[in-house]
Amino acid sequence: MKPTIRILLVLLLALGVCFSGISCDSPQKPKKRSSSKKKEEKKKTPPKPVVEEIPVVPVKPPLPQDLKTWGKKDFFRAREEGDDRLDEACALLGAPFENKPSAVGAVEILRSILTPLPIPEMPDIPKPVKTEDMTSQEFNRLELAYKKKIKEEEDKIKNIPKLNSRTIAAIIEILGQNGDDAAWKLLVDLVQRRQTVDDDTDIEKNVVQTILSHPRSNNLDLIFQMITQPSVFLKPVIPLNEERGKRRITSTQVRTMAIEWMKKYSDPEFRERVTDYLLAHPEDRELKTLAVPYLISGLVGNIRCMHKIYMSPNFLNQVDREKVERLFLNCSAAAFASITNQVSKSGKPTPDEVFKELSMSVFDQQLNDDSNVASNAENNADEATEETAQDNANPESYTENPATENEQPEKGTSWRIQPYVDTQINDAYKLMAFHPEYAIMILDVVWQNDFIARQKQSWEGKMEFKNREDPTARFLLALPLAGQRQYWDDFFTSAYQNGPLVIDKIPLMGYMPTDFGLILELKKIKRNVLPPSQQKKPTSSKNSRYNAAKQRQIELQGAWMEFVRLAVKIQMDRCANAAAVQKAKQINVDQLKARTPFTIPEGAHVLSEYHMILPNEYTKNLQGIQIDPVEIHYVQFQWDVPAMTIPSKVKYKEATAKMRFNTLRSSDMGSLWFEYTNPECTESFDIRIPVVGQSKEDLKEYPKGPVQVMSIRVRSN
């Protein structure tokens, strides 16, 4: 081979080695791997894990176990977390909050608890949209993720804690017990929907029942509004978005519930306030139908209500008007008996007590023929005692509980109301015996001029009465007011010529008390009649008309004499009944002699005494009423030994009391009657001495029982 060619081959060989990276001076480079080998290695090598940063949520300490120590933040947190102990904690909140009386703070917390928690708005989560280069598998994966996020947000809203109806009702009761003005405002806000709640089922009914169950001086206006304007009380300020299916209480239901409360627990002032509204709004027929039957029922606390309704023209129908009138007239005489101490502690005097020797029927056994009066009242006259109202206290009733002299209500609180114990006037005698203060309440109404004038219009001018049970006559006979006795003087004078049988129907003969001054008016009638043995009958037929007229006058005088005798006897029996109440009292004879205008005989044993002077300590409380003054003294005594025969004359001061003779048919044959009346007929003196008969021999004997002495004097103002 040629050397030139050989050299070229060597050079080419050397160049090939250089290009291949093989050189003796530099290390050989590794051969590149194929792409398939790289993918295989990549699959074998696990990817590095992605570390996500999780936010650190601080762990809240548990709520205090002692619920009494909970503060505002604890209540709010329990509300947000739906703590099961929230009901119990709220109940404790009705007590002093945070160990201090802070009623306003407690109400603020309760309002916040009642307020529904805010509902967050749904976040704007974009809905996935399928693109052209997106596979169905990829789109389904995105749609599932979207639905999951939507459900998570909805669950957050659903899981917001809500108060159930039980908890809401418990909070309403707590507000009622709280008693602060802020608590009543929150209750009204619940009714009128200024305050929203999670569950408002029966919310109005619960609030109304709570207000009525916890009456206080600062929520009586609410109860008054329930009775008079229930639609205003219920009027929603913020209407609910959805009314369907909600059980709403009606105005009539609210009014009925409040009137039932008034029947059981209200005091006279509250009832009178309702009456004033009723009379000012006669167009409210529903209120009239629901309230009037109770307001005219026979309760002492309704006296002023009945009077206003009765005096209002054309307000009552005839039946109700007569019912109210009977109640007034019947209880008036019993009230008069009470302020003159003519009722016994045992109640109404029995016929035997008053009519032991009187051969007459008993008049007017029942004071009130309406046996079902005030059937809804809690107490009746038979249960009336001298116990205080607080002994019968009901925590859900009404009457102001007066504070002691140094005791003051703390700020944010109000006085709890105690019960008003009302009493029926069906059995007026028994009621007045135990509660003379009720008598003043009654007389302060029925002795006013407007009522008296209306009663006189019903019979004035007719000069007649239907029967002894006539309630108007019974009322006017027990009316010791200025100007009334003169009216009876005119009546007796006009009735004289017709004889006492005309006025025999007047209940002067009943046990019903009458004005003592009427005896003096009755004694003004001419009664100078001779004893029966000295009366001469006409023997000549001449002047027959004259003789008949004269005989008529003699008969009239004798009849009136007997009528007055009987009236005096019954008046003494009334005094004896009143004196029996004081029988247990020790009688001081020396003091008795000093206070009586007549002389107590020496050696006489005093059995009982009765004294009454009007006006007295009771009548001073009557406003705008002028009492016609009268003074009465009654003494019953007897002689232990027959040391004295029956006198033919009895001295009274400087005068002499005449012996009056009985008629042959007298119902009082077993006694002698001595009488004195001064010329002006402003003072009288009567003495009754029991005897066996009226012969001359009988008059020589000593009295056969207790002697009764009575003086009546009308005093000038």
Over residues 618-654, the pLDDT tens digits come to 888 888 898 989 999 999 988 665 555 666 677 788 7
- Does residue 414 surpass a pLDDT of 50? no
Q: Which pLDDT band holds residue 655 (cuts at 50, 70, 90)?
A: confident
**Range picked from 49-53, 161-165, 299-303, 525-529 for highest mean pLDDT:** 299-303
Residue 501 inside a domain? The answer is no
The domain tally of the chain equals 1
Residue 704 inside a domain? The answer is yes
pLDDT, one tens digit per residue, over 174-210 is: 888 877 888 889 999 999 888 888 888 788 999 999 9
In which residue are the tokens 């001076």 written?
25
Residue 696 inside a domain? The answer is yes
Mean pLDDT of 104-114: 85
In which residue are the tokens 């304007």 written?
229
Whole-number pLDDT of residue 340:
87
CA distances from 10 to 5, 14, 25 (A): 9, 6, 18
Residue 213 inside a domain? The answer is no
Q: What is the b/e burial string over 200-212, where b = at least 16 CB atoms within 10 angstroms of the residue's CB?
A: bebbbbbbbbbbb
Residue 293 inside a domain? The answer is no
pLDDT, one tens digit per residue, over 76-91 is: 888 888 888 888 888 7
State how beta strands 655-660 and 671-677 pair: antiparallel
Q: Which domain holds residue 689?
A: 581-714
Residue 619 inside a domain? The answer is yes
Whole-number pLDDT of residue 307:
94
Higher pLDDT, 109 or 540: 109
Residue 549 inside a domain? The answer is no
Nearest to 498 by CA among 465, 529, 538: 465
Residue 644 inside a domain? The answer is yes
With a CB cutoff of 8 Å and minimum separation 6, the contacts of 83 are 63, 77
**DSSP label at residue 166:** H
- What percent of the chain is predicted at pLDDT more than 90? 18
Starting from the edge strand earliest in sequence, which strands make up the sheet with 683-690, in order? 604-614, 630-639, 707-714, 683-690, 671-677, 655-660, 650-652
Nearest to 337 by CA among 423, 425, 433: 433
Q: Is the dihedral of CA 94, 97, 101, 102 positive or negative?
A: negative
With a CB cutoff of 8 Å and minimum separation 6, the contacts of 705 are 638, 690
Neighbours of 538 (CB within 10 A): 13
Integer Cα distance of 420 and 265 in angstroms: 6
Q: What is the pTM of this model?
A: 0.70
Integer Cα distance of 505 and 467 in angstroms: 5
The mean predicted confidence, pLDDT, of the chain is 74
Neighbours of 181 (CB within 10 A): 16
**Range picked from 12-26, 37-51, 77-91, 657-671 for highest mean pLDDT:** 77-91
- Cβ atoms of residues 195 and 186 within 8 Å: yes
